[in-house]
Homo-oligomer: A and B are copies of this chain.
Amino acid sequence: MHRVKVRVVEDALDANNTIARANRDDFDRHGVTVVNLMSAPGAGKTALLERALHELPGVRAGVLEGDVQGSYDADRLASLHVPVTQINTDPGFGGECHLDANMVRSAVPALPLEELDLLVIENVGNLVCPAEFRVGEDARIMVSSVTEGEDKPLKYPLMFRTCELVLVNKVDLLPHLDFDLERFLRNLDAVHPGVPHMLVSARTGEGVEAWRDWLAALPARREERVGFR
Q: Is the CB of B145 within 8 A of A42?
A: yes
Task: Point out the residue from B70, B154, B176 that lies within 8 Å of A173, measured CB to CB.
Answer: B176
Asked if A41 is at the interface (CB within 8 A of a chain B CB), the reply is yes
Number of A residues with CB within 8 Å of any CB on chain B: 47
Instruction: Point out the residues of chain B lying under 8 angstroms from A170, CB to CB.
Output: 147
Also in contact, A42 and B149, with CB within 8 A (given A72-B155, A126-B127)? yes
Task: Point out the residue from B9, B127, B177 that lies within 8 Å of A41, measured CB to CB.
Answer: B127
Q: Is the CB of A5 within 8 A of B92?
A: yes
CA of A4 to CA of B84, assembled, Å: 30
Could you tell me the distance in whole angstroms from the C-beta of A165 to the nearest C-beta in chain B?
19
Instruction: Point out the residues of chain B lying under 8 angstroms from A127, CB to CB.
Output: 41, 125-126
Also in contact, A41 and B124, with CB within 8 A (given A147-B170, A173-B176)? no
Query: In chain B, what residue has the closest Cβ to A126?
Result: B126
Task: Point out the residue from B2, B13, B147 that lies within 8 Å of A145, measured CB to CB.
Answer: B147
Could you tell me the distance in whole angstroms from the C-beta of A24 to the nearest C-beta in chain B?
21
Asked if A226 is at the interface (CB within 8 A of a chain B CB), the reply is no
Task: Point out the residue from B70, B95, B158 that lies within 8 Å of A128, measured CB to CB.
Answer: B95
Q: Is the CB of A178 within 8 A of B154?
A: no
Q: Can you list 7 A-B pairs, Cβ within 8 angstroms, ordered by A?
A: A40-B125, A41-B155, A69-B154, A94-B128, A96-B128, A124-B128, A172-B176
